[in-house]
Amino acid sequence: MSIHEIVLALSLVGFFGYALVSKKRDFVWISSIGILLTLWLKFLGWTGTLQFFGILIEVIIVSAILSYLYRSFLILVLPEKLSKEVSTAPLTAAFGLLMITIYAFVGIFGPALAPYGEAEVIADAFAFRNEEMLLGADQIGRDFFSRLIYGTRNTVGLALAATLAAFVVGTIGGLLAATQGGRLDQIMGRIADVIMSIPSLIFALLLLSILGPKWWVLIIAVGIIYAPRVFRLTRAVAGNIVVMDYIEAAKLRGEKNSYLIRKEILPNVTAPLVAEFGLEFCFVFLLIAGLSFLGLGLQPPTADWGSMVRENATLITYQDSTPLIPAAAIALLTISVNFVVDWVLFRSSGLKE
């Protein structure tokens, strides 16, 4: 019996005991089914499946411990107000913050962390892993691990820049439409409806085919695609605020729209806008990765996670999962951002009430 199977058995028994003590019938049924299923798989001799579930539980336990330690670290180093907020964060949000911090660190210090250059050829094509190349070589002999590190800065940085562009344009447009109203509001609303009616991937492919797959074209395309979504949310939230009594009082005092937006409206729309920024980043991140996989994202020799999957997909035929690592990095960051967004909504939008 391997260590992974022992961890699986102890985890199921411990979960069953917790369910009995806490008198949670649903957990009792779930743990009982898990124990019976484990015994049945052991009887059938499916040790590989049991080891997989054991490794999965080990990963979850280690992630929970690291998330707890990172949350404790943030509570100690952050200012008092932020510490109180972080202390209420669930482990999922702490895990998301930990992963985002790791990605940011790798993206900023990528050149210092990578053992080789971004486009440096050091071995034969698809060379196997060894002590010098942790993940082997890619299709032309470049270190896959080094390109994965450089891809963090390129892919995440491009997605962040494109999200900021869409967010700034959409937020400013939504605030102006809500405060000005009238014909400006109607014109901007119709423009947003027209853009949102066009499939995002088709629009991006069309624009990139016309102007070429350049990084600034990607930012413009993504900005045009996702700015209307931010515009509609900002317009809806700000539209509910501009009819409030304190806004009318400010207008009667002679305050200008610039003052109303900065002092009265923006502080009250921060929570939904922060959550929207996280969601938009996930959508933009996945869109850019998809475009790179199709060959219309960042161009060689620039390292990009989407293109790395496409260029090394041949290895999957030989049961080598290396090309799936960039895809897993994309999925992990997306999940982490969503964890943090859920927590921000829970803390700031009144859902906890």
- Choose one of 52, 67, 82: the last residue of a domain: 67
From the list 255, 234, 251, the residue with the least C-alpha distance to 243 is 251
* Residue 33 domain-assigned (yes or no): yes
Cβ–Cβ < 8 Å for 58, 301 = no
pLDDT at 322: 85
Three-state SS across the chain? CCHHHHHHHHHHHHHHHHHHHHCCHHHHHHHHHHHHHHHHHHHHCCHHHHHHHHHHHHHHHHHHHHHHHHHHHHHHHCCHHHHHHHHCCCHHHHHHHHHHHHHHHHHHCHHHHCCCCCCCECCCCCCCCCCCCCCCECCCCEEHHHHHHHHHHHHHHHHHHHHHHHHHHHHHHHHHHHHHCHHHHHHHHHHHHHHHCCCHHHHHHHHHHHHCCCHHHHHHHHHHHHHHHHHHHHHHHHHHHCCCHHHHHHHHCCCCHHHHHHHHHHHHHHHHHHHHHHHHHHHHHHHHHHHHHCCCCCCCCCCCHHHHHHHCCHHHHCCCCCCHHHHHHHHHHHHHHHHHHHHHHHHHCCCCC
* Residue 10 domain-assigned (yes or no): yes
Query: Quick one: 190 and 330 in the same domain?
Result: yes
Query: Quick one: 203 and 310 in the same domain?
Result: yes
Token reading at 320: 């080598």
Query: Quick one: 242 and 344 in the same domain?
Result: yes
Number of domains in the chain: 2
* Residue 263 domain-assigned (yes or no): yes
* Residue 89 domain-assigned (yes or no): no
Q: What is the pLDDT along the chain (353 residues), one digit of tens a residue?
A: 678 678 777 887 887 787 778 777 777 778 788 878 888 877 777 777 777 778 888 888 888 999 999 999 999 988 888 888 888 888 899 999 999 999 999 989 988 888 888 888 888 888 888 888 888 888 888 888 999 999 998 889 899 999 999 999 998 888 888 888 778 888 888 888 888 888 888 888 888 888 888 888 888 888 888 999 889 888 888 888 877 777 778 777 777 777 777 777 877 777 788 888 888 888 888 888 888 888 888 888 888 888 888 888 888 888 788 888 998 999 999 999 999 988 887 776 554 44
Cβ–Cβ < 8 Å for 71, 86 = yes
Query: Quick one: 63 and 192 in the same domain?
Result: no
Question: What's the Rg (C-alpha) of the chain?
Answer: 25
* Residue 307 domain-assigned (yes or no): yes
Burial code (b: 16+ CB inside 10 Å, e: under 16) for 266-291 equals beebebbbbbbbbbbbbbbbebbbbb
* Residue 105 domain-assigned (yes or no): no
Residue 225's identity, in one-letter code, is I
pLDDT at 348: 67
Query: Quick one: 203 and 293 in the same domain?
Result: yes
pLDDT at 164: 92
pLDDT at 276: 84
Phi, psi of 142 (to 5 degrees): -85, 150
pLDDT at 180: 81
pLDDT at 105: 93
* Residue 83 domain-assigned (yes or no): no
pLDDT at 353: 42
Query: Quick one: 201 and 310 in the same domain?
Result: yes
* Residue 190 domain-assigned (yes or no): yes
pLDDT at 352: 43
pTM: predicted TM-score of the whole model, two decimal places: 0.82
Q: How far is CA 215 from CA 97, 218, 292, in A?
A: 28, 5, 11
pLDDT at 351: 44
The domain of 197 spans 147-348
Query: Quick one: 57 and 165 in the same domain?
Result: no
Query: Quick one: 155 and 27 in the same domain?
Result: no
Query: Quick one: 165 and 285 in the same domain?
Result: yes
Q: pLDDT tens digit string along 275-318?
A: 888 888 888 888 888 888 888 888 888 888 888 888 888 888 88
pLDDT at 130: 83
Give dist(CA 11, CA 27) in Å, integer: 13
Angle of helix 200-211 versus helix 266-293 axis, rounded to 10 = 70
Query: Quick one: 15 and 153 in the same domain?
Result: no
- Choose one of 67, 84, 115: the last residue of a domain: 67
Cβ–Cβ < 8 Å for 230, 171 = yes
